[in-house]
Chains A and B, each alone.
Chain A
Amino acid sequence: MDTKTRIVTAIEKGTVIDHIQAGQALKIVKILGLEHSKKNLTIGLKLESATCDTKDIIKIHNWHISEEDSQKVTIFSPHLSINVIDHYQVLKKYTPQLPPFISSLIACPNSQCISNHEEINTYFYLEKICKDVFFRCKFCERPFSHHTIQPQNTL
């Protein structure tokens, strides 16, 4: 008898965002605008992973992620993978490219940054240093890792 079970069940059709860095899934849900939507979501947090210590996973039923949205989600987890599912099969699997800059999506974590005090669109430049990814605020010029950034509250 097969006693193996999935912690997060498979979906028939939709999008699976896998290998999300542990702790980042809820930020991704927010930036995709899914927290207030009627779409069926399945979220797994801090799951064991063969490729990394722990991971998060999000499965969105009957929904396909756009290219623009796939770039947004990599901000919070640069090495995640996107799986397009149909009839329980993986039709396509890819890791989206990080965008060269991010505008208006994330807030600056620096409380002394002007962008937290004036009505200004935030803007961050991507910096890659070896395997680490940082986003440098255009205004206060500080670099932030994807661990520390948060979606803007307007989303």
Chain B
Amino acid sequence: MMCTTYTQTNPQKLSSSFFSLPRKNLISIRDLEKKHILHILNLARNFKKTPPKPLLKDKLMGIYFAEPSTRTRLSFEAAMKRLGGNSLGISDIKTSSIQKGESLQDTLQILGEYVDLLVVRHPLEGSARAASLATNIPVINGGDGGNEHPTQTLLDLFSILECQGSLESISIAFVGDLKYSRTVHSLALASCFFNIRIYFISPSCLQMPSHICHELKRSGCRFSFHPTLEEIIKKIDILYMTRIQKERFLNPLEYETSHMDFSIDSNILSQAKKSLKILHPLPRLKEIPKYLDHSPHAYYFEQAKNGLYIRQALLCLLLLTPEEMAAHGY
């Protein structure tokens, strides 16, 4: 009999009054409960259906990106500007005082004096949590090393809900680099809320980290490991592809020797459910060939677009009170 006794003392867990208080952070998907996730998705759906008014006029968002980014940074900036606000910040640390040896916390404490909210991306794990301790303004984790990417998880869930009609009891296959892919870690953890069946397919050296698997098991999540996609393609509703992240390998030899060919093609897709959708956090390399972009299964560009609405929802929920939101009809 599996022992499921589990106790945790975690004062960072948000209370049910998360949305009644501005100045809270989004650092980890673990900080959210199911009702918070559904609330965010619902607001994002409203924003996608009807573009919101300039709810964040006169608000300023600070960006600190110490790692390359296209979608996350640009969608946050677009989200803020389309809500009437503005943004400033650092997207190239070579131009900042980090080069003079200034600590991350000092940099963000100063930046936090100029803006109303911070979005932080950094290669070290836990950096967003450290950022939240350096400032009193809300901090959003835009990706901390190989740890988490909670806003990506929210837009992934939004996309799945949109294309499948429900999040409950669907099946997802995660394919590729599961070891270093923070988007996969976050989404797998969030899947536990919705009784999602998970299939992992990856090179042996890039498997899902054991500490994530243990947490999935403790949460009662059903998951299994498979050597090939062909084995489970007929069972799944969502195919979540990932890029092998060369930049995360501490040992370059490990990257060169890992088996890279976990790509898809039309032959594999011919065996899939008609309703199957392909997601990818992008950028993609060879794992999804370009000719599949026009396949009815391809959903990754719509997925990227949904980042705008999710980030608009998060910015509003962190910068406005429920009363202010209600005054605008939300």
Which A residues contact B (CB, under 8 angstroms)? 100-101, 110, 112-115, 117-120, 125-130, 136-143
The one of B28, B124, B148 in contact with A112, judged by C-beta atoms closer than 8 angstroms, is: B124
B145 touching A112 by the CB < 8 A rule? Answer: yes
- How far, in Å, is B231 (CB) from chain A's closest CB? 30
Residues of B near A128 (CB, < 8 A) are 5-7
Contacts A117-B124, A118-B104, A127-B7 known; list 11 others, CB within 8 Å: A112-B145, A114-B130, A119-B105, A126-B8, A129-B5, A129-B218, A138-B126, A139-B130, A140-B125, A142-B211, A143-B214
Q: B6's contact among A110, A112, A119, A129, by CB below 8 Å, is which? A: A129
27 contacts between A and B (CB under 8 A): A100-B9, A112-B125, A112-B145, A113-B124, A113-B125, A114-B126, A114-B144, A115-B126, A117-B124, A118-B105, A118-B130, A119-B103, A119-B105, A120-B130, A120-B133, A126-B8, A127-B7, A128-B7, A129-B5, A129-B214, A130-B5, A136-B10, A138-B126, A139-B126, A140-B126, A141-B126, A142-B211
> How many Å lie between the Cα of A141 and that of B146 in the bound state?
11
Chain A contacts of B129 at CB under 8 A? 114, 138-139
Q: Quote the shortest CB–CB distance from B228 to chain A (angstroms).
A: 29
Please name the 4 residue pairs, one residue from A and one from B, whose CB atoms are nearest each other, closest first: A139-B126, A140-B125, A130-B3, A100-B9
Among B5, B9, B30, B218, contact of A141 (Cβ-Cβ < 8 Å): B30
**Residue of chain A at shortest CB distance from B8:** A127
**Digit string of B136-149 for contact with A (CB within 8 Å is 1, else 0)?**
00000000111110
Cα A113 to Cα B147 in complex, Å, equals 9
A109 to B146, CA, bound (A): 15
Q: When chains A and B are docked, how far (Å) is the Cα of A130 from the Cα of B215?
A: 14
Judge whether B12 is part of the interface by a CB distance below 8 angstroms.
yes
Report chain A residues within 8 Å CB of B147: 140-141
Residues of B within 8 A of A119 (CB): 103, 105
Contacts of A141 in B (CB 8 A): 28, 30, 125-126, 147-148
Distance in Å from the Cβ of B190 to the closest Cβ of chain A?
Answer: 14
Please tell me if the beta carbons of A125 and B126 are within 8 angstroms of each other in the complex.
Answer: no
Which chain B residue lies CB-closest to A121? B133
Is residue B153 contacting chain A, with contact meaning CB distance below 8 A? Answer: no
In which size bucket is the chain B interface? Answer: 20 to 34
* Chain B residues with CB below 8 A from A142, complex form: 125, 211
Query: Quick check: is B127 within 8 A (CB to CB) of the other chain?
Result: yes
Residues on B with C-beta less than 8 A from A112 are 124-125, 145-146
List the B side residues contacting A136 at CB < 8 Å: 8, 10
Give the A-B contact count at a CB cut-off of 8 A: 76
Chain B contacts of A101 at CB under 8 A? 9, 11
In the complex, A113 Cα to B146 Cα: how many Å?
A: 10
Nearest residue in B to A129 (C-beta to C-beta)? B6
Q: Which residues of A contact B125 (CB under 8 A)?
A: 110, 112-114, 139-142
Complex: how many Å from CA A112 to CA B9?
24
| A117 contacts across to B, CB distance below 8 A | 124
Q: Which residues of A contact B30 (CB under 8 A)?
A: 141
The reply to whether B9 and A143 form a contact with Cβ atoms under 8 Å apart is no
A132, chain B: closest CB distance, angstroms: 10
User: Nearest Cβ in chain A — how far from B181, in angstroms?
Assistant: 15
A141 to B147, CA, bound (A): 8
Given contacts A120-B105, A141-B148, contact A114 B5 (CB under 8 A): no
Q: Quote the shortest CB–CB distance from B67 to chain A (angstroms).
A: 13
Q: Are B8 and A125 in contact (CB under 8 A)?
A: yes
| B40, chain A: closest CB distance, angstroms | 20
A residues near B126, Cβ cutoff 8 Å: 113-115, 137-141
Which residues of A have CB within 8 Å of B28? Answer: 141
Task: Give the Cβ gap from B294 to chain A, nearest Cβ, in Å.
Answer: 39
Could you tell me the distance in whole angstroms from the C-beta of B33 to the nearest C-beta in chain A?
17
B6 to A, closest residue via Cβ: A129
- A127–B211 contact, CB under 8 A? no
Q: Which chain B residue shows the least CB distance to A117? A: B124
A118, B7: Cα distance in complex, Å: 30
Distance of A117 Cα from B104 Cα, bound (Å) = 10
Q: Return the CB mask of B1-42 against A: 1 if under 8 Å, else 0.
A: 001011111111000000000000000101000000000000
> Hey, which chain B residues are within 8 Å of A114, CB to CB?
104, 122, 124-127, 129-130, 144
Q: Which residues on A sit within 8 Å (CB–CB) of B3?
A: 129-130
Taken residue by residue from 95 to 136, chain B's Cβ proximity to chain A (1 for < 8 Å, 0 otherwise) reads as: 000000001110000000000000000101111011001000
